[in-house]
Amino acid sequence: MGSSPTSGTTTSTEAAAFECWARGSVEREKGPGARTGREALLRRDVTGWLLAMLLVLLGPGLATAQMREFKGKVKNVSAEELIVDNGRGDKLRFLPAGDVVVEGEKASWASVAKRDWVIVSWKMMDSPRIAYRVVVIPAPDEP
């Protein structure tokens, strides 16, 4: 008959395979350094856990490279900071990176002025936010 997901029964083949695995008496592989099925499964499980731990440790490092963009109108600008309002209730403060790149209608941080429209690129994990790239864009048409 076989089994169904809700029957709670197993076939005799499935039961025999599980018993062999549980006892560790699965047939040995052929050749030097061959492992039993149980040893192979254990090695696979350990390898899986090691890979998972490696991803956990490297994950935050990979996330720091994620760049975000914020588009809005410059509310305040000085040599130490840039405050941008996106017109939807969000105002973000950015500090200039040592080698901040300014592109578009302006060429330097000092030339960015109040009421300019900008797109600021920053890393998600920065606290405080640091502007790595500022693109000065034309003001959008008012409806």
136's tokens? 């000065």
In order of 83, 105, 107, the CA distances from 4 in angstroms are 62, 68, 69
pLDDT the model gives residue 6 = 57
Q: Is 78 left (phi over 0), alpha (psi -120 to 50) or beta?
A: beta
| Residue extent(s) of CATH 2.40.50.320 domains in the chain | 67-137
List CB contacts of 61: < 8 A, sequence separation 6 or more: none
pLDDT along the chain (143 residues), means of 10: 57 67 56 66 74 72 73 95 93 93 93 95 90 94 70
Cβ–Cβ under 8 Å, residues 61 and 125:
no
Amino acid (1-letter code) at residue 50: L
pLDDT the model gives residue 82 = 96
CA geometry: angle 49, 55, 57, nearest 5 deg: 105
pLDDT the model gives residue 22 = 65
Query: Of the CATH numbers 1.10.357.20, 2.40.50.320, 2.40.30.10, 1.10.30.50, which one belongs to the domain with range 67-137?
Result: 2.40.50.320
107's tokens? 């060429």
Round to whole Å and give the CA distance between 13 and 16.
Answer: 5
Round to whole Å and give the CA distance between 121 and 74.
Answer: 14
